Chain A
Amino acid sequence: MMLRAALALCLTLFAIPAQAIEIQRVESPGGIEAWLVEDHSIPFTALSLTFQGGASLDAPEKRGAVNLMTALLEEGAGEYDSTAFAEEAQALGASFSFDAGDDSLEVGAQMLTENRDQAADLLRLALTEPRFDDQAIERVRAQVQAIIRSEATDPGAIGAKELSQQAWGDHPYATSINGTMDSLAALTRDDLVDAKGRVLARDRVFVGAAGDITPEQLGQLIDDVLGGLPADGSAPLPDMAELQLTPGVTVIDWDSPQTVVSFAGPGLPIEDPDYFAAFVANHILGGGGFSSRLTEELREKRGLTYGIRTGIAAGLYGQTWQGGMSSANEKVGEGLDLIRQEWARMATGEVTEAELNDAKTYITGEYPLRFDGNGKIAGILSGMQLIGLPIDYINNRNAMVEAVTAEDVKRVAQRLLDADGLRFVLVGRPEGVEATDPAVSGQGDPGLRNSDEAVPAEG
């Protein structure tokens, strides 16, 4: 054991610097900015287009429109109906993805070098001339309705939905991007056209690319793909959300041997000066790997759960510090006590030097692991622009982590963590746990299943 510690230490001292990743800032002839990591070793290009606002730009009373519109982008465009569009993409060996989220609408593409222009043209059609054929609308609407119904019988989704609704009041964050059975049923083709205009515009797109393409080729390609979009989105970007969580315990009855537990308190945005201090604190409390305090207490020592995790959900428009686990109904009370106990211990901000150092070596060491592939890099590049990070961020980020001191961790932990302020949502038949107030989302009772739905998910 001593030997191991010594070896780890020595490796840490000689740790390589974070990989120097060269990002080129490309401006297309048409004036659209893109970030590029050029690498010609594999003959394909990964492209990531991130449109800010995403499903949070749903018009009032039209919840679900952006998500449904997004799913229909690959269901026919220009002269191609749904099947013909997919056949064209497959015949080119190209693959496209279209995903709506709370903060952005993400378009991903992988295009072979040998027919990249044709693949890009197909992507242009999807973004600028989607057909929204009636038959496709009905088919995809039925699929989303199916997801809504399915989530109504998924205890994890039920808990997430209840927690979101308690946290975010009237903001779109409070409800699922899928919409409700009713809101979805009422959407018309015009609503989808309107939703597209709200989100898919040149003023809110961020472009990342990686792979076998030169800056000149990329500039031309993004003009080809995006040039036909309107200059400006037709709706203003979403408002900030105000966190409305109250302390307490919500129990939703669900007939299952296990109780699914979700819990949350206030978080902080990535631009907060103490963001990395909080990130370090979270790693120690319940972050990745098998070595957090919560994993040690609940899983390793007592076998109460298969896994427990916490994380900072740093949305653009609102943030929480949250966690989750599942535990047998008869043991979940003990688990809750331990979560509160560890949350309170962390809230004192006291961490050992070893915990601080281990957290930092993990967080800095893990960072370069994210960049091993064109697809991952392209997504990171557009995502960085979405959250407003500078282009040299990648090469400076680990220094910011290294700079976190025990004092910083203490300050942010004392500011944000409050065991008595946590809201727990339990879905199951927990024994010996008292609910402090009723659920707000009307779930759990099969008679109410169709009233609403839960976390974003795509089948």
Chain B
Amino acid sequence: MSATLEKGVRVLKEVIDAPIASYFNSCVHCGLCAEACLFYTETGDPKYTPIHKLEPLRRVYEQEYTLLGRLKKLAGLSKPVTDAELGEWQELVYNSCTLCGRCSVVCPVGNDIVYMVRKLREGMSASGNAPDGIKGAVNRTVTIGSPMGVKLPAVKAQMKHVEEDYGIPIPLDAEGAEYMVMLSSMEIINFPEYLGAIAKIMQQAGKTWTLCSTAFEATNAGMQIGNSDLARVIVSRIVDGAEKLKVKTVISPECGHAYTALRWEGANLIGRPFTFQVKHIIEVLGEFQEQGLLKTEGFETDKLTFHDPCQLARRGGVIQPQRNLMKMVAKNFVEMPDPGFINWCCGGGGGASAIEEGEELRIEAFKKKKSQLDAVKPDRLVTACANCRIVLEEGLEHYQMDIPVVGLTEMIAEHIPEKGA
């Protein structure tokens, strides 16, 4: 056994807990989870059945934690997990799983399959079997500060642009502000409108807010690759920044997995509860709307539909606020088939969009989103995740569908009256 494999198997042994043991013992091989997974439904290939993606983890469980499995192992009757097998499984654990969690919703015996995939990634990563695309993103986040290599000067340059364009000052390192706003690299590079939108929204709501010079990047490739040690390093920057600035709430940007990393995994990664709250920007906008702090004028009149980011809706519990916000500014908002809690993934979540060799499969899986959109035929598609947005744009372009994709926060901000107007 190679040293890396040994490490991987040791990590797998460490992540196995009572839920995983219970899940493996409950599986009856009914295969219903396949019907919930877009990588199976769009390819028809049974190897993409979610529970099958966990086979190496299942065998480690059986061989290490069950009496019969241990006896079989002693007698040399069990098949050990090998380097080659884990290498082969990379495609199943990363390329063809976006951690969307639909499988966990349909399993009749109640298995939380995505919970197990997340844990299996810890062993895959430790044994050196994670895809290069995500490895690169993690390395850049740890060494440079962001998965796309964005550094503070780039953020400052964007702050300056936004201040000039909107005439609103962008606070940096303002101690005692109520909100600390996080960004994703994608927003810094591709969607600068986001920061301007935040400035307008906060100004109208009369709230104090700030960016943090030591923690502006919210995305956490460490979580996607399945390396809790690196995920902890990345999340600690945000915790340190928020505690140094004594903010009440940290706002996760329009990025699904950044929200999961910070809102649900963060405290567990650092081993203590946070001293501040974490909210997705859509939750904050929803609260402002309820409190009457968000006032918009005018309506979008073209036909709009909303793509629910998996990590925000099914995996994060934020489903209604985005709909209330859509209705606030859109006259013709229509739901896709399978909206909200049961929405289908864009195909690029959980780090999948960073895997170059997974592109062909991603495009194939996008047929599911295409069929949802074909049923509605919207003029534009609104979402609340910068990664979904990029993946959607790629898919739409591939299938030659002329549907622009917009971020909900920006769309809301466009309807905020200019100050003094």
Do A and B truly interact? Answer: no
Residues of A within 8 A of B (CB): none
